[in-house]
Structure formats: structure tokens, C-alpha cells
């Protein structure tokens, strides 16, 4: 029996025009009301784009950073190889410091630095071409990994299942299919009916602005809910699984993802609903023993106070606590889905096995 495939639209969130030597991203801070490409030229523009979430999602940040370092390498005029390498490392450090939690950022920059070191003695055009090819390889590798993750994730679902997802882990946050949303796009292509409940994901509303936008455009049955409605849809029996992405996975299986993810996992545990974390192996940090060692980014309180309102919603003197991520304990996770397969507890063993 041949499965009919349906065309599904995927956002091209990062685009490098080699003919023009120009790097473009979709400015995600403007979605869903405006689709606009933004060209990144300088280190300041690149850092600002990452910090202000114009480009976001752990894999996407890594891909973007790789292209960024190539663009910046082209601007370095020092003829001395050691001076070139020192300047490149400075740029890399600036980009790496822009967001501390997602390990893909430091990983991709590290790969670019290794490539540069391996070609320092080559003529400059050869070195630059090697950096460009490494950035392309990182991008293409993520596309392949997202497809594999989507296949493994879809194997956990059956026709008619309801799935709750938190934040955004689709093509905008990664490449092509995405990670936690990838199975939904793949299901849509194959005519399989999956019902998705997307948390709005306070305070920056990535679920409302981005996840529902992507899934609706792809023809996926998506229902947007406020974060504090997750318990109700679980209690109603509408959810058979939770799929979430991740920005870093510790060696013991603890995972950092958008703030609110750990609360979803606690609720799911109560209702007996499995929680699956989907992400590429580049998100696994085997040098990080557990969630307590994952740095958690704190963001501007104004994101809570004033960002989405014409008038402030709180008095100026009220304090705000605005962590961008939280850590979900490995005991709450039913499986970690990577491009190499599905890891189960004990994660200290199954995650380590991926690298041997």
C-alpha cells in the first residue's frame, strides 16, 4: 500500500546567499503578524538578534552562529594567522555569551574554531571556504537529524492521539521539520491525524506566536491553550503524550527547556501521561553531570511587565523574576528522542551509549 504524501510548508528561518555573501534570518520577534527577513552584518547585530530572540531555538542558534562566525571571519584583515585566530576567537566568545543555556551555540562555535585552526596555514580564501563549508555542513546535518528525530518521535504516536507541546521546537527553532514538532509535520505529510495542544508559553508567547503559526500553516489540527490550562486538557483525557524540545540535556537525563516545561512534566506525571524530550545529540552535554549544573538565563523583567500591553500591568516598583528556562528532572521523562533513537532510563547509560 502506497502512502500518499501531502505538501507541507516549512519556514526557512536561516538563509545564506553565497552569491551575495549575505546572511538572512526570519525576524521571529515580528511573527505571526509580519514575515520579514533581517540581514546580519556585524557582531553587534548578530548578538542582538540572538539576545532579542530574532533567531531562537537551540539548534537554530547554533546554525546561525556558525554562519555568523563565517561572515565575521571575512571581515578580519590581519594577515598574520595567529592574529586572525585570536580575532576569530574574540568574535566567537561574543556570540557564545549572548545566550548561556543552549549548548548548541557553544558546540557550533567550537566546530567552527576547530575548522579555522585546521586551515590556519592555508591561503585566506581556502580558510574562508572551509569555514563556509563547515557552516553548511552544520546546517545540513541538523536537517538530517530533525528528519530522523521526527521519524522516531512519530513512532510513539498513533492515529487520533492528542499531544501537548510547550514553547516552539519546529522549523523556526531548528531546521526543516524541527524536533518536538517534527512528528506533527511528518504526520501531516502522511495524512495521519494528530491533535496538538500548544501552550501559549509565557511570557514571550512562543507557543502562541510561533508554534500555532507553523502548525496551522501546515494544516495540523492545533488548539492554542494558556499555560495554566494544561491540567484541564490532561484531566479531560485529550492528551496522550507530551512532546517538548530542549536546550541542554545533562548526562543524567535532566533537561533544560523553556520555562514552564517542568510544570508540564509534573502535571503529566500526575495524570499518567508520558513526557518525551526531543533533540539532537548536539544538545546533550556529557560534561554536565545534572540539571543543577545547567546555567539558567535570567531575562529582562520588562518582558513580564510591559512587553505585550499598551499600559504597564504592574506598578513600577514590583519586583519580577524572569528565568528563560527551567530544568525537568530525568525521573519525569519517559524517553529522550534523538536522531540515533529513543533513549530510556537509566539515562546515564543510554545517553553515554550514543557516543560510543
- pLDDT digit string (tens) for the chain, length 356 residues: 334 455 555 668 999 999 999 999 999 999 999 999 999 999 999 999 999 999 999 999 999 999 999 999 999 999 999 999 999 999 999 999 999 887 899 999 999 999 999 999 999 999 999 999 999 999 999 999 999 999 999 999 999 999 999 999 999 999 889 999 999 999 999 999 999 999 999 999 999 999 999 999 999 999 999 999 999 999 999 999 999 999 999 999 999 999 999 999 999 999 999 999 999 999 999 999 999 999 999 999 999 998 888 888 899 899 999 999 999 999 999 999 999 999 999 999 999 999 98
Alpha-helical regions (H) of the chain: 43-51, 58-73, 81-96, 103-118, 124-154, 182-189, 206, 212-217, 230-235, 261-271, 302-305, 347-353
Alpha-carbon separation of residue 98 from 41, 44, 107, 221, 297 (angstroms): 16, 10, 14, 35, 10
Contacts of 85-94 with C-beta under 8 Å, sequence gap 24+, read 85/116, 85/117, 85/120, 88/113, 88/116, 89/113, 91/43, 94/43, 94/47
Res 7: pLDDT: 53
CA 325-329-333 angle, 5° bins = 105
- Going by CATH, does the domain composed of 156-353 fall within 3.40.50.720? no
| Active-site position among 27, 142, 199, 247 | 247
Phi, psi (deg, nearest 5) at residue 25: -130, 155
| The C-alpha cell that represents 313 in the structure block | 500591568
Alpha-carbon separation of residue 46 from 22, 38, 143, 238 (angstroms): 13, 10, 22, 41
247 is catalytic: yes
CA 283-23-217 angle, 5° bins = 70
Query: What is the CB neighbour count within 10 angstroms for residue 165?
Result: 29
| The C-alpha cell that represents 55 in the structure block | 533567531
* Range(s) of the chain covered by CATH 3.40.50.10470: 156-353
Res 1: pLDDT: 35
| The C-alpha cell that represents 229 in the structure block | 490550562
* Range(s) of the chain covered by CATH 1.20.120.420: 14-146
| The C-alpha cell that represents 289 in the structure block | 553531570
Task: With beta carbons less than 8 A apart as the criterion, state whether 324 and 258 touch.
Answer: yes
Using a cut of 0.75, tell me whether the model's pTM lies above it. Answer: yes
Distance CA 297, CA 304 (A): 15
Res 234: pLDDT: 98
| The C-alpha cell that represents 171 in the structure block | 522549523
Alpha-carbon separation of residue 91 from 44, 46, 200, 270, 319 (angstroms): 10, 10, 35, 46, 34
* CATH node for 14-146: 1.20.120.420
Amino acid at each position: 500500500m502506497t502512502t500518499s504524501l501531502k505538501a507541507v510548508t516549512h519556514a526557512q528561518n536561516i538563509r545564506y546567499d553565497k552569491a551575495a555573501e549575505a546572511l538572512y534570518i526570519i525576524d521571529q520577534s515580528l511573527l505571526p503578524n509580519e514575515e520579514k527577513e533581517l540581514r546580519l552584518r556585524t557582531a553587534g547585530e548578530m548578538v542582538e538578534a540572538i539576545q532579542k530572540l530574532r533567531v531562537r531555538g537551540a539548534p537554530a542558534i547554533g546554525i546561525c552562529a556558525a554562519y555568523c562566525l563565517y561572515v565575521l571571519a571575512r571581515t578580519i584583515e590581519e594577515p598574520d594567522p595567529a592574529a586572525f585566530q585570536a580575532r576569530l576567537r574574540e568574535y566567537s566568545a561574543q556570540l557564545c555569551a549572548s545566550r548561556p543555556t543552549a549548548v548548541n551555540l557553544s558546540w557550533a562555535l567550537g566546530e567552527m574554531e576547530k575548522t579555522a585552526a585546521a586551515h590556519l596555514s592555508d591561503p585566506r580564501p581556502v580558510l574562508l571556504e572551509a569555514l563556509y563549508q563547515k557552516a553548511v555542513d552544520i546546517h545540513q546535518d541538523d536537517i538530517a537529524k530533525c528528519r530522523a528525530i521526527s521519524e522516531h518521535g512519530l513512532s510513539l504516536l498513533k492515529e487520533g492521539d492528542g499531544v501537548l507541546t510547550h514553547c516552539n521546537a519546529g522549523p523556526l527553532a531548528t531546521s526543516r521539520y524541527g524536533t518536538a514538532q517534527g512528528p506533527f509535520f511528518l504526520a501531516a505529510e502522511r495524512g495521519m491525524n494528530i491533535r496538538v495542544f500548544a501552550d501559549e508559553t509565557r511570557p514571550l508567547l512562543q507557543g502562541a506566536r510561533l508554534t500555532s503559526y507553523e502548525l496551522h500553516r501546515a494544516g495540523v489540527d492545533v488548539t492554542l491553550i494558556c499555560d495554566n490550562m494544561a491540567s484541564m486538557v490532561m484531566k479531560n483525557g485529550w492528551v496522550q503524550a507530551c512532546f517538548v524540545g530542549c536546550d541542554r540535556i545533562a548526562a543524567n537525563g535532566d533537561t533544560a527547556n523553556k520555562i514552564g516545561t517542568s510544570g508540564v512534566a509534573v502535571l503529566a506525571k500526575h495524570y499518567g501521561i508520558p513526557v518525551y524530550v526531543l533533540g539532537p545529540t548536539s544538545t546533550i552535554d556529557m560534561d554536565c553531570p545534572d540539571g543543577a549544573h545547567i546555567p539558567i538565563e535570567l531575562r529582562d523583567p520588562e518582558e513580564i511587565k510591559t512587553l505585550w500591553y499598551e499600559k504597564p500591568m504592574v506598578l513600577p516598583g514590583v519586583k519580577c523574576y524572569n528565568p528563560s528556562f527551567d530544568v525537568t528532572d530525568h525521573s519525569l521523562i519517559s524517553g529522550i528522542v534523538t536522531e540515533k533513537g529513543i533513549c530510556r532510563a537509566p539515562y546515564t547509560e543510554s545517553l553515554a551509549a550514543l557516543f560510543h
